[in-house]
């Protein structure tokens, strides 16, 4: 059995811990297609927050309390960079984390694509899941904002980490998306998948940038496998992060049904919402309410198990579509 | 009064502390022209060991016991790089030091020359001395060695830090020297100098790479100012470092007189040796024996004072040569 997961950072990482547990039980292989829209260059280092959150979490190197970065992190380099007045000062790079960025940046400069770099980094972390960036090409989420009386496009990291998402924001753009290609292995994984899961990640700035890679949304929609999403909104609020702010910017309702409708029946076959949101309706999509709090690995694995039991007869033909356009 | 110093790393840094003390007493300006032959790229970072040794030492940021690197240094990144198996593993980059390299590398990548980067870094350290790299161009000292049964050229850092200078070594080469240019300010500083001091640095791998920049040796020799060197060898042994190994490789005697002769009367007007080496003779150069142990700032400043009192009538015409070829 082959499971493909579309995932962002912290929520995606926690979800993948449960997917891996489920996969170990049933003997399945897991491929995670991870958002690169948050990736940024700072202090000459290429930083991939979502790939690293997933890698560190699955490799038991993440800080469980903070949710991002490395456990036992130290901050010597950050203090020194500040002493030099080196910009940006609003983004904290930990010492352990910097080593990852040094290895990545050195390999990228040497000409290796991000997918190969990610594979090399995973040699150390042994995440037990195949991690693929959505694209090897530069695709960065920028926010079009009002700042100092002007309309500007700033990087998502600046929008969120520096400005806490509180600037008047018109929209998000995925810079470089037009010419980006799916990373090697992504389309093959989708074509061969038995199920495609959309993690309970931010639909606007984690999942949308993945689907913005030309050909990737089409490959998900055309996959013979059912596509089942997990709501990141429970009881009208994001489980963590800033999905509420992002949904407002794209004009979507901050509810489990609102996110399901944003994805819509073109993408989804099934949509799992929390029991709190029982009755949520997404036209053309099979909706089921189950407990969606990822309190631990077991609870998250149970969510995945519930997805596998979803009766999709109503929304998807029972015969495999494999090979169809 | 304008003092120009040709200097390498640790010995040069300690010497410059004394030069600065002397200069403060007499109201002189000091320009240090620093070796770049040790510079190397590791983990994607541009590392300038000699410039940094001088900058940290004069800026009160150096580790006084180790002699190199930062006081209170930590080694988190190094441990993490090793966990990734990232090469080279034999060169230890401290966390504080890495911040310097990140700032430098980012500026170099953005197109700033090394001299401008050095000036920017010195904004923080306020060394009280103008630091100029000998060249903004890549000029790297490599050792031609026998390794694994083959003749190979390896970077000086690899030769010294990895192999402890113990490989059979035929010679040193200064890669890139042919096309290197003196950094902006170097030739002007030499032309305007009232005295040029050659620090008691390694003559073969610290001072020679400076003089290997086309036009630089000629500018020192043609300067109207007297050129006075300080022996790095006391009683037949280097004060620190590997000058003995290096002198053997270039076929020079490891004595105060041997180094003086290696520089020779074309470069030097005066040569200061330790009282232990009283009687050392360098044909065509005024030699004087004074205490040369740089035990502290005061002792080192006294060495500089003694250089200023050297009677150079015998070896140099009393009239300024400024403007002569």
Judge whether B96 and A75 are in contact, CB under 8 Å: no
Confidence of residue A150 (pLDDT cuts 50, 70, 90): very high
CB A80 to CB B74 under 8 A? no
Does the pLDDT at position A314 exceed 50? Answer: no
CB B124 to CB A83 under 8 A? yes
A62-71 residue pLDDT tens: 998 888 899 9
* Residues of B in Cβ contact (< 8 Å) with A121: 84
User: Which of A141-150, A305-314, B47-56 shows the lowest per-residue confidence on average (mean pLDDT)?
Assistant: A305-314
Q: What is the mean pLDDT of residues A47-61?
A: 97
Judge whether A173 and A208 are in contact, CB under 8 Å: no
Does the pLDDT at position A242 exceed 60? Answer: yes
Question: What average pLDDT does the structure give for chain A?
Answer: 94
pLDDT more than 90, % of chain A: 92
The pLDDT value recorded for residue B66 is 85
A64-103 residue pLDDT tens: 888 889 999 999 999 999 999 999 999 989 999 999 999 9
CB A86 to CB B109 under 8 A? no
Work out the angle at residue B81's Cα, subtended by the Cα atoms of residues B77 and B87, and round it to the nearest 5 degrees.
135
CB A84 to CB B95 under 8 A? no
Q: What is the mean pLDDT of residues B56-60?
A: 97
Peptide linkage before A88 cis (omega within 30 of 0): yes
Work out the angle at residue A28's Cα, subtended by the Cα atoms of residues A22 and A29, and round it to the nearest 5 degrees.
110
User: Which of A124-128, B52-56, B87-91, B320-324 shows the lowest per-residue confidence on average (mean pLDDT)?
Assistant: B320-324
CB A44 to CB B124 under 8 A? no
* Residues of A in Cβ contact (< 8 Å) with B86: 99, 102-103, 106
CB B99 to CB A86 under 8 A? yes
User: Closest partner residue to A76 among B76, B81, B123, by Cβ?
Assistant: B76
ipTM of the complex: 0.91
Does the pLDDT at position B50 exceed 60? Answer: yes
User: Closest partner residue to B76 among A84, A96, A123, by Cβ?
Assistant: A96
User: Which of A120-124, A218-222, A321-325, B252-256 shows the lowest per-residue confidence on average (mean pLDDT)?
Assistant: A321-325
User: Closest partner residue to A102 among B76, B81, B106, by Cβ?
Assistant: B81
Residue A107 or residue B315, greater confidence: A107
The pLDDT value recorded for residue B320 is 41
User: Closest partner residue to A106 among B43, B74, B106, by Cβ?
Assistant: B43
The pLDDT value recorded for residue A241 is 86
A174-230 residue pLDDT tens: 999 999 999 999 999 999 999 999 999 999 999 999 999 999 999 999 999 999 999
CB A105 to CB B44 under 8 A? yes
The residues on A that touch B, with CB distances below 8 Å, are 43-45, 74, 76-77, 79-81, 83-86, 95-96, 98-100, 102-103, 105-106, 109, 121, 123-124
Domain B2-61+112-136+179-308 has CATH 1.20.1250.20: no
- Residue A123 CA, chain-centre distance (Å), reads 21
User: Closest partner residue to B102 among A79, A81, A100, by Cβ?
Assistant: A81
The pLDDT value recorded for residue A6 is 98
**Closest CA in chain A for residue B126:** A84
The pLDDT value recorded for residue B65 is 85
The pLDDT value recorded for residue B307 is 95
**Closest CA in chain A for residue B75:** A95
Domain extents for chain B?
A: 2-61+112-136+179-308, 141-178
B234-291 residue pLDDT tens: 999 998 889 999 999 999 999 999 999 999 999 999 999 999 999 999 999 999 999 9
Q: What is the mean pLDDT of residues B128-152?
A: 97
Q: In sequence order, what DSSP letters do the residues of A107-142 get, joined into one string? A: HHHTT--HHHHHHHHHHHH--SSEEEESBSS--EEE
Confidence of residue B57 (pLDDT cuts 50, 70, 90): very high
* Residues of A in Cβ contact (< 8 Å) with B102: 43-45, 77, 81, 86
Residue B11 to chain A, least CA–CA distance (Å): 25
Residue A99 to chain B, least CA–CA distance (Å): 5
Q: How far apart are CA A268 and CA A250, in angstroms?
A: 19
The pLDDT value recorded for residue B317 is 44
Judge whether A220 and A197 are in contact, CB under 8 Å: no
Confidence of residue A323 (pLDDT cuts 50, 70, 90): very low
Q: What is the mean pLDDT of residues A24-49?
A: 97
Does the pLDDT at position B157 exceed 60? Answer: yes
The pLDDT value recorded for residue A116 is 98
The pLDDT value recorded for residue B77 is 98
Q: What is the mean pLDDT of residues B134-152?
A: 96
CB A106 to CB B96 under 8 A? no
**Closest CA in chain B for residue A86:** B103
User: Closest partner residue to A124 among B76, B84, B105, by Cβ?
Assistant: B84
How crowded is residue A283: how many other Cβ atoms within 10 Å of its Cβ?
A: 10
- Write out the two tokens for B135: 């060249």
Please tell me the CATH code under which domain A2-38+179-308 is placed.
3.40.50.10680
Residue B97 to chain A, least CA–CA distance (Å): 8
Confidence of residue B64 (pLDDT cuts 50, 70, 90): confident
Distances (CA, A) of A321 to A52, A100, A269, B22, B173: 34, 41, 13, 85, 66
Does the pLDDT at position B312 exceed 90? Answer: no
Strand ranges (E), A8-90:
29-34, 40-42, 45-47
């Amino acid at each position: 059995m082959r499971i493909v997961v579309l995932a962002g950072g912290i929520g995606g990482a926690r979800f993948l811990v449960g997917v891996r547990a489920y996969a170990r039980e049933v003997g399945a292989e897991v491929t995670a297609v991870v958002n690169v829209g948050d990736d940024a260059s700072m202090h000459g280092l290429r930083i991939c927050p979502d790939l690293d959150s997933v890698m560190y979490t699955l490799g038991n190197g993440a800080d469980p309390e903070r949710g991002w970065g490395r456990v036992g992190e130290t901050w010597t380099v950050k203090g020194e960079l500040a002493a030099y007045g080196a910009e940006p000062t609003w983004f904290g790079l930990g010492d352990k984390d910097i080593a990852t960025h040094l290895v990545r940046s050195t390999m990228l400069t040497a000409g290796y694509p991000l997918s190969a770099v990610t594979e090399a980094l995973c040699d150390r972390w042994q995440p037990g899941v195949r991690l693929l960036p959505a694209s090897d090409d530069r695709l960065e989420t920028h926010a079009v904002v009002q700042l100092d009386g002007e309309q500007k496009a700033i990087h998502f990291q600046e929008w969120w980490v520096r400005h806490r998402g509180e600037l008047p924001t018109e929209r998000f753009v995925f810079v470089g998306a037009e010419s980006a290609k799916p990373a090697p292995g992504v389309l093959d994984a989708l074509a061969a998948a038995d199920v495609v899961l959309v993690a309970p990640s931010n639909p606007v700035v984690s999942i949308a940038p993945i689907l913005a890679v030309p050909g990737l949304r089409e490959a998900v929609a055309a996959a013979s496998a059912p596509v089942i999403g997990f709501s990141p909104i429970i009881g009208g609020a994001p489980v963590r992060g800033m999905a509420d702010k992002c949904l407002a910017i794209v004009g979507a309702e901050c509810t489990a049904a609102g996110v399901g409708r944003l994805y819509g029946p073109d993408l989804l076959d099934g949509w799992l919402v929390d029991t709190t949101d029982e009755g949520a309706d997404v036209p053309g999509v099979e909706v089921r309410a189950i407990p969606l709090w990822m309190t631990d690995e077991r609870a998250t694995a149970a969510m995945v198990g519930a997805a596998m039991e979803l009766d999709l007869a109503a929304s998807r033909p029972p015969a495999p579509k494999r090979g169809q356009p």
